């Protein structure tokens, strides 16, 4: 399973601070925004905070609405999302509210930190604490891999603090930035900021993509997505993982001397996999990957309009075996975002590499991640060399 969709959530002042330097926590959100946060929590599979936030804020990280908890249970989910923290040292207070409220918890740490935590008297049992060592250092990719592969987490809400947000953004592991901007100035140089200094992907000339703005009382909610540097097109860690899966699916294709081996995955906006497919699936000698995946979905599924098709090869624009090429099938399905790894060569069709242009001409967003081209080519070496 791919790494979870990573949503960075924070309330900040107009000048970018998370808090002031006073002894009491500065409440930047208003009641309506706290309720919005509760809604986001309820829609998440897990909520993560760093050790620093756990120590200074002593958060409970609960879904407070009984109605939202009941909706989760009715959907077959735990009453509360998994609570996650990370600490290299394992120096965490066993009396913190984090451990004693809500459902299951997991702490990611080092080998040395795990030894310390296992003797710290943390709660055990069905809603107790799982201690997971990531070796000598708690690296974020390994942590996210474990959440996805072992815990089955698809949507991770990250509530801070600033160091955690900074590291995830700098390493290109954040899928969305959700900011509640409060109408206050902090103006204190020593106060904690939302983000630290250092290099971010694309640098200051790479603009994030605006997804939404709306007022929540006197707070303004802003949603952004990271983008491919220099293009303005949104891309995320989730994009890379789903495209990697599409390339893996291409390797499952029965080999052919007259057609490419291609894999495709259709993914909803919230990170839910809707369908997958690969060329020549189920013994059909001419079915294409995108076609196979889309055929498994109800054409009236409302999630298709905001879904993404991940394909190891550019969707075809010309095709002899079936009436509709894959670019047309994608558009007719209502999908308006495609992420692909490899432009179609002229091996079988003259002027093949126009599928992306067809998609773009009709308003679809096309993102090409060339760093995955070699993976997409690997199961096709017998036809492209």
351-362 pLDDT per residue, tens: 555 888 999 999
Q: Is 292 or 175 the better-scoring residue by pLDDT?
A: 292
User: What's the pLDDT at 202?
Assistant: 67
Helix and strand element counts for the chain (H, E): 13, 14
Q: What is the pLDDT of residue 10?
A: 96
SS3 for 54?
helix
Residue 348 is predicted with a pLDDT of: 61
pLDDT for residue 350: 60
Strands 209-216 and 176-181: unpaired
Cβ(78)–Cβ(72) under 8 Å? yes
Question: Half-sphere exposure (CA, 13 Å, Cβ side) for 241?
Answer: 23
Interatomic CA distance for residues 170 and 164, integer angstroms: 10
Q: What residues does 158 pair with on adjacent strands?
A: 8, 48
**Looking at residue 322, what is its pLDDT?**
87
pTM across the whole model:
0.69
Q: Give me the residue label for tokens 């936030």.
A: 53
Residue pair 113/88 in contact (Cβ under 8 Å)? The answer is yes
Q: What is the pLDDT of residue 323?
A: 87
Alpha helices in 131-194 (DSSP H): 140-149, 162-170
Class of residue 103 by CB neighbours under 10 A (exposed 0-12, middle 13-18, buried 19+): middle
Cα(381)–Cα(379) distance, integer angstroms: 6
State the chain's mean pLDDT as an integer: 91
Greatest CA separation for the chain: 71
Is it the case that residue 77 has pLDDT exceeding 70? yes
- The pLDDT, as a whole number, for residue 228 is 63
Has residue 135 got a pLDDT over 70?
yes
Domain boundaries, the chain: 5-225, 237-384
d(C-alpha 92, C-alpha 94), whole Å? 6
Q: Which residues pair with 40 in a beta bridge?
A: none
Which sign does the torsion angle of CA 119, 122, 128, 129 carry? Answer: negative
CB neighbours of 12 closer than 8 A, spacing ≥ 6?
A: 18, 28, 179, 180, 181, 182, 194
- Give percent of the chain with pLDDT exceeding 70: 94
What mean pLDDT do residues 340-356 have?
Answer: 75
Whether 134 and 107 have beta carbons less than 8 Å apart is answered as no
pLDDT at position 121:
87
> Which residues touch 296 (CB under 8 Å, ≥6 apart)?
275, 277
CA distance 257 to 268: 33
What local confidence, expressed as pLDDT, does residue 210 receive?
86
Q: Are 81 and 45 in contact (CB under 8 A)?
A: yes
CATH topology of domain 5-225: Dihydrofolate Reductase, subunit A (3.40.430)
Average the pLDDT over each of 117-126, 199-208, 273-282 and give the range with the smallest value.
Answer: 199-208
Secondary-structure class of domain 237-384 per CATH: alpha beta
Cα distance between residue 265 and residue 313, in whole Å:
12
Quick check: 134 and 159 in contact, CB under 8 A? no
Q: What is the mean pLDDT of residues 209-222?
A: 93
Q: Does 246 have pLDDT greater than 80? A: yes
């Amino acid at each position: 399973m791919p790494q979870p969709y990573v949503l960075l959530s924070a309330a900040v002042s107009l000048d970018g601070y998370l808090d002031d330097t006073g002894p009491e926590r500065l409440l930047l959100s208003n009641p309506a925004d706290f309720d919005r946060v509760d809604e986001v929590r309820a829609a998440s599979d897990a909520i993560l905070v760093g050790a620093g936030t756990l120590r200074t804020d002593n958060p409970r990280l609960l879904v407070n609405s009984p109605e939202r908890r009941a909706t989760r249970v009715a959907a077959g989910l735990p009453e509360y999302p998994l609570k996650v923290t990370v600490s290299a040292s394992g120096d965490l207070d066993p009396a913190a509210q984090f451990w004693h409220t809500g459902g299951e918890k997991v702490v990611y740490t080092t080998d040395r930190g795990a030894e310390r935590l296992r003797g710290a008297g943390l709660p055990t049992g069905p809603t107790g604490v799982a201690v997971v060592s990531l070796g000598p250092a708690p690296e974020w990719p390994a942590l996210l891999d474990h959440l996805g592969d072992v815990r089955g987490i698809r949507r991770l809400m990250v509530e801070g603090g600033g160091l955690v947000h900074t590291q995830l953004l700098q390493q290109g592991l954040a899928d969305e930035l959700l900011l509640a901007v409060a109408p206050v100035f902090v103006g204190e140089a020593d106060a904690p900021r939302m983000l630290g200094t250092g290099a971010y992907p694309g640098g200051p000339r790479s603009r994030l993509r605006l997804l939404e703005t709306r007022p929540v009382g006197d707070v303004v909610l802003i949603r952004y997505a990271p983008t491919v540097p220099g293009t303005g097109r949104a891309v995320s860690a989730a994009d890379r993982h789903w495209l990697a899966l599409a390339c893996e699916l291409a390797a499952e294709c029965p080999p052919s001397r007259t057609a490419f081996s291609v894999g495709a995955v259709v993914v909803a906006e919230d990170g839910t996999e809707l369908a997958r497919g690969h060329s020549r699936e189920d013994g059909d000698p001419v079915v294409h990957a995108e076609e196979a995946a889309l055929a498994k979905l109800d054409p009236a599924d409302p999630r298709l309009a905001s879904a993404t098709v991940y394909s190891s090869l550019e969707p075809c624009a010309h095709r002899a075996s079936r009436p509709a090429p894959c670019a047309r099938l994608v558009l007719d399905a209502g999908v308006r975002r495609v992420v692909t790894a490899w432009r179609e060569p002229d091996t079988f069709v003259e002027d093949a590499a126009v599928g992306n242009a067809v998609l773009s001409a009709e308003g679809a967003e096309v993102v090409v991640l060339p760093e995955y081209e070699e993976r997409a080519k690997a199961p096709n070496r017998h036809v492209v060399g």
